[in-house]
A = this chain, B = another copy of it.
Amino acid sequence: MYINFAILGILSSQSLTGYDLKKIIQESPFMYWSGNNNQIYKALGELLEADFVTNEEQHPGGSPAKKIYTITEAGKAELKRSLQFAPEPPEFKKTFLIQLAWSDQLNTNEFNAQLFGYEREIKQQILLQQEKRMRETNCPNRSPREIYIWEMIHENIISFYNNELMWVKKLRQGLCFCNEKVRAE
């Protein structure tokens, strides 16, 4: 469960509540989870159980007793261990390719509409990611290497969408030639 490691990572630079963690994960472009409560509070429960974090209740009179989670030494060791796991290959899920695979059954207009729709989605994602990059202020006391790494993480994500955008454009161009060829027959 990589979300547990991600939480340890976030907590390694600052102590936070579950609610804070939820927001950070939701905002993050590379922590791919939706950041719903069920995941966060379940993960925190597990981390607490394993003594990788401790929590401190603030003003325990309040109804949802605010709990501030702090990483332990054991938690830091666990985080470092997770950083050395054998890297997994990147995965993707593109439902558009499922549609594309059999879209020869659409006429030219319908087909173009789908391509156009996909291109629009990608462009919107690029804007959204750039916005996230701007907004990012969290995570203090960074080393030069750390700053560079986070920069490169953002670049990774943007390049993913840019690559996809270039591909759609090429697909559309090639399709023009393909249609011309069909007309010529």
Interface residues of A (CB under 8 A from B): 2, 5-6, 9, 12, 30-32, 79-80, 82-106, 110, 113-114, 117-118, 121-122, 124-125, 143-146, 148-150, 152-153, 155-156, 159-161, 163-164, 167, 170-171, 174-175, 178-179, 181-182
Q: Which of B89, B114, B153 contacts A97 (CB 8 A)?
A: B153
Whether the Cβ atoms of A144 and B181 lie closer than 8 Å is yes
Instruction: Write out the residue numbers on chain B whose beta carbons fall within 8 Å of the beta carbon of A79.
Output: 102, 105
Instruction: Write out the residue numbers on chain B whose beta carbons fall within 8 Å of the beta carbon of A105.
Output: 12, 79-80, 83
Instruction: Write out the residue numbers on chain B whose beta carbons fall within 8 Å of the beta carbon of A174.
Output: 148, 152
Known contacts A30-B101, A144-B178; 15 additional CB pairs below 8 A are A79-B105, A83-B110, A89-B122, A90-B93, A90-B96, A90-B160, A92-B92, A97-B156, A101-B150, A104-B149, A145-B175, A148-B174, A148-B175, A152-B171, A152-B174
